[in-house]
Structures are given as C-alpha cells and as structure tokens.
Structure 1
C-alpha cells in the first residue's frame, strides 16, 4: 500500500522536530555539563597555570599561597648575588636587600586567569588546558645593591697612567704609559635588574662588564722630549720658616713631572690645588694688599714666580700673570708671579710644536724648575732684563706719642717704596736677534707708613744736700789754766 504525500510530509516534519529537539536537549545537557565543570573550578586555579615554575593547577587560593610562600618566601633570602671580575669575586647576600615577592598579587593573577571569560571559553581552558605562566614580582631595597656596586667600582677602577720621563744626570728616558679600566656601572645595573627576579634554585652570577681606558699621554707622543730649553732657581732656605719651607716643597712636588702637549694650558691653581690644612699646607707669611700677614700656603708665590721665570726663558708666553702688590725679595722687580686660589692664577700655554716636560725640585733650600722639549730648539736663547724707570717715595706720617720717651721712634705701619718697572725679553736664534719686546710694565705702588715718635719728657729727681754733722763739745784739759779769762762786755 502506497503512502500518500501528505503522510510522508508529516513524517519528515516529525523527524526534523525530533532531531532538533534532540540537538537542543544535547546542547542543554552539554551546557549544563560545561556549567558544572566551570563551577567545579570556580574556586580553583585552572589547569596549566603556573607561578614561576610552580604548577598550581587545581589549587585553591590558600593552597597556592602556602606552596608559593614555602618555596619562594624562605628560599629568596638564601640566594646570593655574585659579581665576578678578573681579580676576584664579590658576593652580596640577598638577605641584605630585604627581598619580598608580591605573592598575593601573583596568586590573584593566577586564580583569576580565565574566570572573566564566557562559559565555553572557561570550559576550553579547563579541558584543553595550555600552559600559562605568571612571574613573581620581586620588591627589594636597591640601596644596598647600589652601595655594593659602588664598592666594587672603587676597587676595580684603575686610572690610566700617562707616560712620563725619567731624567737622571742629563739622561732622558721615556717611561711607557699604562692602560686603565673602569666598571660599566649602568650596564651592570641593567643586567642585574633583569636577573634579580629569576629563579631561586641558583645564585645570580654576573661577569662584571669592564671597559679599557687609554692614557692621554703615550710614550710615542713624548719621545721627542730630549733637551732642556729653560731653567731658573731661587733660594729660600735662609729666609724661610719651617712652615714656609713645607709649603714650597708641597707645591713644587705637585708640579714636578707635569707634561703639556702642544696647545695645552697650564694652570698653577688647577695643578697645585687649593691650599688647605687637610692637604698639608701650613700658615706662613703672605702678602695681603699692602701688608704682610699670615695665611695657609704662605711661600708658594716663590714657587709660581720661579716657574714663571723658567717658562719665560723657555720662550713660552704667559696667558695669565699678576705681580705682587709689594716687591718680592727672591726675584727682580717685574719678574714675580703671584697666585691666590680662587682669585689670582698663573697660566701659560704650550705654543711650541713639541710637548714640554717640567721638572721641579725644592731640596737644599733652593727651588729649581727645568723645562724640557725638543733639541731642535737648542739654538733659541731667551734673556730677561728688568729696568726700573721710576722710583716713588712713600709718604710717611709721624705721630707724637706721649707714652714713648722723647727721642724714641716706633714704626706703627710699615712703609714701602713704589717702583715702575719694565721687563724686556730678548730672544736670539743661533746668536742672531729674533725679537726684543717689553713683556711687562708693572707698578708697585708705594705704601704709606706711620711712625710714632716719643715726646715724653724724662722725669727730674730733686737734689738733696748732704746732712751737716752736729758740733762735738771740747774735751777738758788735764791741767787747768792759771790765766784767768778776760771779762765779756
């Protein structure tokens, strides 16, 4: 029997309805299963989730915190930071940097991972888990770390040593330079920062990054120095106190061995430095204005003046030079160079095409400076002459003083004669005149003096005549006179 078309259509519709219903039911069941699965994991960390290398799948917040704290909170303080150099190793215990992991923050990240997604995504994360790693953020006190690096820097940094000369009995020998090295602090800190949050299973080992530092003056640059081109000396032993001698020796040592390349400028104050008690300088007489006073570093103007004369005689011009306010006893007028740290400096520039070497010595009560350069300058001779073209007598005031005896005088304020003086520099080359020029025209102003003179009259003592002795009565004669005395009228 053949079914009608209407019947077949009804069956098809029913089948579709049943299939659709089954799909819907299946979807509902699967959704319920997904829901129940997600709900079962709602208080647990999803599979595959790690903090550092610790798998926390299925752990509650409390369980996860207990695991992480046990492994990392205690373990971190046992770590060490090792910085290795060629010479030695330096170690810093982590306990000194007060390290603390942000464990709560990491646990929250691990626990909340995937919890904000839709049901299907949650189900996929649970059933089709893939690894998800969260890092522990380490918080620590970076002050001990910086101090640790600074202490390493002080030990490992080596300044380059410039080449210099060894001069003995006229023989000049080049002493080669030595390279230095310096710690690359920024690079080290950057590498340390990237590794300090690493695993706790092993210490942090870092090779200290070092950088070579070349010397400014190398042996090949000064090999041309082979001849003395200028010298000058002054005597100080017989005129100086022990304190003044000490200052002269200190300042001279600071200058000895100084090398100037062509174009370099020498600054006395920069090379010698500030004259302080901490640096060994002592109080001694110094010229302050128009009088002599006491001050730290007294006497070093003799050093600057002696050097000035040696440099001028090497045919090197001054950049900055000032004469004293009062004449100096150790050099001729117009040939001195005063210095005062922070105020007055003596400077000169190496205008030669060769480097120069300055040798200074202050032994035996004599300050001596020798200037060396190349022997091609041997034929050049520079001489100086000082010409006083005006003498200015000082004004001296006299003040009567009733406390001083008449005829006696006492200097209240020392006076000084003034001078106007020109210094001429004459330079010859192989005996032929090259130049003659006035290099200074100085005026040492007179200093007014005050002299007290006594007007106190001497005291007079009254003259007392000698005492007259009383008359002595006559002694009676042994035999009485027989002549009677005449009667008185």
Structure 2
C-alpha cells in the first residue's frame, strides 16, 4: 500500500512540473514577443504621438524633422500680417522677424516619450495607442516687432485739425475739420503677438485699433459765421512816414484771420507779438509820456485803436484797455487804445454766443477791421459816441537857465489841453435807441508848456 501511494504522488509532481514548464515556456515566449515589439521602436517615435496636428507615429528623428520643417519652418518665411487703416496697409513680413520654431526640442520630447519606462509599460503605450500631443513654441525678433509698431504708430497718429475760416472780398469760406487719430499700440502689440504665434500660414489682415479725437473747432460750429456785423476804418496815409505805414501793415496782417470762439479772450500783444527788427518793424514816432520819440513799431497804436472801435460796435466787452496820455489825431477823444508790449495791452472777450472772425487789412492809406459773425446780430446795431464834459487849460511854466543867453527863450515842451470825456454805446433797434451804456470815463491830463529862459 505504501508503494502505490508514493507512485501516485510522483505522477502528480510530474504533471505539475510539466504544467509549470509549459507556463514558463509560454511566459518566456510572451516576453520575447513583447521585447521584440518594444525593440521595434527603439529608434522610432511611439504610436499616436503628435506635434501640433502632425502624427509622427513610427517616425525616426530625421524623418520627423523633415516632416516638421516642411510643414512649419519653410512656409512661415512667406507669411505676412497686414495692418489696415483707412485704406492704407502696413505689412509685417515674417522673414524680418527671423521666426524659428523649436522643432528639435519638440521632436526630442516626442521621441523620448515612454522611453524611460519598464518594458511592460512601454508595450502598453505601443499597444493602447493613446494620443500624446506636443506643442511647438515660436521665437522671433521682438526688437523688430517694436520697431514695426513704432513705424505704424508714426504713420497712423495725427492730431486733430480744426476747421478754418477765411474771408476774401466779403466771401466766407470754411474748410472741413479733421478728427485726430491715435493708435492703441499696446492693444495692437497683443493682437500681433497672438497672430504671430498662430500656426496659420496664410496672410492675416488686422484692422488697426485706433482711438479718434474730435476737433475742438468743427465746421459745424463755424458755419454760423455768415455776416459782417461790424467794421471800422481810420486813415493814416496823410500823416504817416513810410516807416509808420510799414508798422501799421505788419501789425494789421498779424491780426487778420483771428478767430475767437465764445468766451475766448483776445490779447493784442499776444497776437501781434514783440515789435522787433526781425519781424520787419521800423522806427517811427511813439508817444512816451507826453512826448513823441522814435521807437520800433511806432504807429501800431492806430491799429489797436481802430480795432477797439470795431469791437465796441460789435457789442464785445473790453477786458483791458488804456487811453493815450495825450489825445490821438486818428480817432475821437475817449475812443483810442494804446499798447506797449510787456506793459500795456488791449484785451477783449467774445461775450457773444457765436464765434467771431476778425478781418484786418490796409489799403490806400486806410487801416480797416471787419468782424464777421452770425447775421442775427444785425437785428440790433451799436453806435459809439463820446462827450467831453470838462476841459482843462494847461499852464505855462518857466525854467530859468544860466547856460543860455540872458533873455533868450526855448520851448522845451509844447502844451496840450486836458479833457475829461465819457464814451457811450448806444443800442439801437428798429432805428430807435433802446439803451445807452457807459463804456469808459477817460481823463487826458493837461500838459503844461515848459519854457526855458536865459538869465
């Protein structure tokens, strides 16, 4: 009985050993198969591995590089981005950017995928074929991009242009205003960076992001100027030297074409500027104190006085004005306005609800100013009048001087009458004075006659 039991156990062991051997043989064969399958990809990229949208399964590094260069590196050199603004196009050439995709880096990453894993894990990657994707990054010359943006900005940016008005022989012409434009460079930069990095190889058109600014003075605002509402003329031809005539013309031309919007303030000295030889001014008599003596720009007080009378008849309000120390011969008492650069100015404010245009001209010995504004202002007219309410007779004063012969007389200063005068503005509607307002109350001090007498 014991021998039979041992015999049965021997058979079971043999069967077990056979089974184990068969399993080992099977496993060994499976391992060899797996090893062979994995080894096929030792120098190849695993299945379902992509760079961007390119499937590089079973490709060597060299093959992958050729494919990627053909797809990405070569076409990008021919690509353009066009910036469009108002029908103008500014082209950014990719070739100038020196673009470069990191193809070698991406291929190395794709090739190395799974290569450091254990053999069974490698086999699973190969067998399951799960998609693995890698991205290309692009490098380019950002300095050139900045230079391109600066170029586009310079081309697009412009300041707004106000509408302009010109009057010739009573004909009024108004030019269009233009909006200002400013490129949003930061926004465009972000747009360009996004487009540059895109993997599209067709040309791209981008509308330039631009901010517009309205002109301060539009054609619509100036279109209300349609009528001459005031004019005034004085004559200088009969009493002026050629130098004085020259000065009057230069100053008048400086003022001609001045536009004042509502609430703007006119400054004679600011508009005319310094009276210099460089500007063409010449020496002519100017009143200093109570005497006339040569000075650059002599005569332009006639310009300021003529303009002063013109603005009074347009119902404009003087802000700053001084009369001469002695009466002027070219306008009535109380209606003159002296100026001296740096110290005495003629200023007035446009208190009308419409803009005004000042036309100044000289011709045939006359200086003339016209003010143009809206024709509705002519429904009321303004008449300026002056009234002398006191006259002061100058005195004679003697200065005794031993440096001249005894009994000899020299007049060193001629006398001038003194006046107190009020100037009014009469407001007339339908031919009747409806109001009278005081404009100024001036005192021209008497100038005593000075006589030197020898003792």
Shorter-chain TM band: 0.5 to 0.7
Distance 1:26 1:269, change over 3 A: farther
How far, CA to CA, are the matches of 2:415 and 2:129 in structure 1?
Answer: 107
Q: TM-score, normalised by structure 2?
A: 0.59
Task: Tell me the secondary structure at the aligned position of residue 233 of structure 1.
Answer: strand
Give the match for residue 281 of structure 1.
279
Task: Tell me the secondary structure at the aligned position of residue 49 of structure 2.
Answer: coil
Give the match for residue 155 of structure 2.
151
Find the partner of 1:251 among 245, 250, 254.
254
Deviation at 1:362?
2.9
How far, CA to CA, are the matches of 2:79 and 2:248 in structure 1?
Answer: 58
Q: What runs of 5+ residues in structure 1 fail to find an aligned partner?
A: 1-6, 452-489
Matched, 1:437 2:421: no
Per-residue CA deviations over 1:297-340 (Å, capped at 9, x if unaligned) read 87665544432221112222123445678876655565215364
Task: Tell me the secondary structure at the aligned position of residue 339 of structure 2.
Answer: coil
Task: Tell me the secondary structure at the aligned position of residue 264 of structure 1.
Answer: coil
Matched, 1:312 2:312: yes
Per-residue CA deviations over 1:234-261 (Å, capped at 9, x if unaligned) read 3455444375255235313332xx363x
| Contact 1:392–1:417, Cα closer than 8 Å, also in 2 | yes
Per-residue CA deviations over 1:270-321 (Å, capped at 9, x if unaligned) read 98476699xx9334348798797766x8766554443222111222212344
Task: Tell me the secondary structure at the aligned position of residue 149 of structure 1.
Answer: helix
How far, CA to CA, are the matches of 1:276 and 1:61 in structure 2?
Answer: 83
Distance 1:346 1:385, change over 3 A: same
| Contact 1:49–1:132, Cα closer than 8 Å, also in 2 | yes
Distance 1:127 1:312, change over 3 A: same
Per-residue CA deviations over 1:64-91 (Å, capped at 9, x if unaligned) read 5997699659964x66554445565555
How far, CA to CA, are the matches of 2:399 and 2:67 in structure 1?
Answer: 98
Give the match for residue 362 of structure 1.
362
| Contact 1:158–1:182, Cα closer than 8 Å, also in 2 | yes
Task: Tell me the secondary structure at the aligned position of residue 234 of structure 2.
Answer: strand
Give the match for residue 374 of structure 1.
375
Task: Tell me the secondary structure at the aligned position of residue 310 of structure 2.
Answer: helix
Per-residue CA deviations over 1:24-50 (Å, capped at 9, x if unaligned) read 9999999999998998689x9x93124
| Contact 2:162–2:216, Cα closer than 8 Å, also in 1 | yes
Which region of structure 1 is more displaced relative to structure 2, 384-393 or 360-369? Answer: 384-393
Per-residue CA deviations over 1:408-455 (Å, capped at 9, x if unaligned) read 99x9xx999897865522323343362332525477899xx9x9xxxx
Distance 1:127 1:55, change over 3 A: closer
Q: Give the count of matched residue pairs.
A: 403
Distance 1:400 1:180, change over 3 A: farther
How far, CA to CA, are the matches of 1:298 and 1:34 in structure 2?
Answer: 109
Deviation at 1:192?
4.6
Give the match for residue 4 of structure 2.
none
| Contact 2:254–2:271, Cα closer than 8 Å, also in 1 | yes
| Equivalent residues in 2 for 1:100-139, closer than 5 Å | 100-101=98-99, 108=105, 111=108, 127-138=129-140, 139=142
How far, CA to CA, are the matches of 2:218 and 2:379 in structure 1?
Answer: 24
Give the match for residue 424 of structure 1.
423
Task: Tell me the secondary structure at the aligned position of residue 315 of structure 1.
Answer: coil
Which region of structure 1 is more displaced relative to structure 2, 134-143 or 349-358? Answer: 349-358
Distance 1:248 1:143, change over 3 A: same
How far, CA to CA, are the matches of 1:416 and 1:301 in structure 2?
Answer: 22
Distance 1:102 1:201, change over 3 A: closer
Task: Tell me the secondary structure at the aligned position of residue 437 of structure 1.
Answer: strand
How far, CA to CA, are the matches of 2:341 and 2:308 in structure 1?
Answer: 15
How far, CA to CA, are the matches of 2:443 and 2:94 in structure 1?
Answer: 69
Per-residue CA deviations over 1:103-142 (Å, capped at 9, x if unaligned) read 56x8657755897999599986994234433341432332
Give the match for residue 140 of structure 1.
143
| Contact 2:382–2:427, Cα closer than 8 Å, also in 1 | yes
Distance 1:47 1:213, change over 3 A: same
Q: TM-score, normalised by structure 1?
A: 0.56
How far, CA to CA, are the matches of 1:165 and 1:325 in structure 2?
Answer: 37
Distance 1:75 1:159, change over 3 A: same
Distance 1:137 1:313, change over 3 A: same
| Equivalent residues in 2 for 1:398-477, closer than 5 Å | 423-430=422-429, 431-432=432-433, 434-439=435-440, 441=442
Task: Tell me the secondary structure at the aligned position of residue 244 of structure 1.
Answer: helix
How far, CA to CA, are the matches of 1:149 and 1:310 in structure 2?
Answer: 47
Task: Tell me the secondary structure at the aligned position of residue 424 of structure 2.
Answer: strand
